[in-house]
Amino acid sequence: EGLKTGPYTYLVKHAVFLAVGLVAGLVLTRIELRVLESWSKLALIIGGLLLVAVLVPGVGRRINGAQRWIYLGPIGFQAVEMVKLILIVWLASYMARYRDALQNTFWAVFKPLAVVALMFGLLLLQPDFGSAVLLGAVAMGMLWLGGANLVWLGLPMLAAVPLVAYVALSESYRVRRLISFTDPWEHAFDSGFQLTQALIAI
């Protein structure tokens, strides 16, 4: 009971998560890349299903106005955190398999962007605009570094800019976050709280 409300609550929780993460990391280092690549498609499907499951009443849990959490007994996790890793592994595998096609065919560039667009839509339903934009930026960055044709990569990106801008400005709380980003200390205990705490931590 003391761990729930005591002065070391977050230290203990962080230590537990760190230990679990280190063990998981050690296990992953023993897995060969070809094995990860062979499982990447299935992992992508599982990631998509997790994003859908979050939206199902009784499966996903709403906290602070956003339905992002899935609980397995006492353990809760945000599906998008797993999806971020899955997307990176799948994209890396995809680019390795279609390296030449990424430079020569529009469809090879469009396919991963369509996958990300689907995830983007599912994340907006939660809503989780920040993670949606992050996934899009990661995908664009990886495809660019992977040698994708810049014209075919740039056209969908330009088409997405008005949509992203509209979504960003369509909710007042998102606008407040954008404004607070320019001077987080002025909103240190409101919309700029997370950013100021991150700066303090750094």
Out of 68-82, 140-154, 165-179, the most confident range is 140-154
Confidence (pLDDT) at 4 = 58
Confidence (pLDDT) at 81 = 87
Confidence (pTM): 0.75
Least confident of 23-32, 43-52, 135-144, 154-163: 154-163
Q: Residues 52-59: contacts with CB within 8 Å, 24+ apart?
A: 52/122, 53/79, 54/79, 54/126, 55/122, 55/125, 55/126
Give the model confidence (pLDDT) of 6-45 as tens digits: 788 888 888 988 999 899 889 988 888 888 888 888 989 9
Confidence (pLDDT) at 26 = 92
Query: Residue 107 and residue 70: Cα distance in Å, rounded?
Result: 34
**Checking phi first, is residue 66 left (phi over 0); if not, alpha (psi -120 to 50) or beta?**
beta
Count Cβ atoms below 10 Å from residue 7 Cβ, excluding itself.
7
The full 3-state SS of 123-186, as one line of letters, equals HHCCCCHHHHHHHHHHHHHHHHHCCCCHHHHHHHHHHHHHHHHHHHHCCHHHHHHHHHHHCHHH
Average pLDDT of the residues of the chain:
83
Q: What is the mean pLDDT of residues 190-199?
A: 80
Residue 116 · residue 100 · CB < 8 Å: no
Confidence (pLDDT) at 115 = 92
Which residue in the block uniquely carries the two structure tokens 């709403």?
62
Give the model confidence (pLDDT) of 170-185 as tens digits: 777 777 777 777 777 8
- Report which of 153, 155, 124 is spatially closest to residue 141, judged by C-alpha positions: 153
Confidence (pLDDT) at 147 = 84
Q: What is the mean pLDDT of residues 94-110?
A: 87
Confidence of residue 1 (pLDDT cuts 50, 70, 90): very low
Confidence (pLDDT) at 68 = 80
Confidence (pLDDT) at 45 = 92
Q: Tell me the chain's radius of gyration from C-alpha atoms.
A: 19
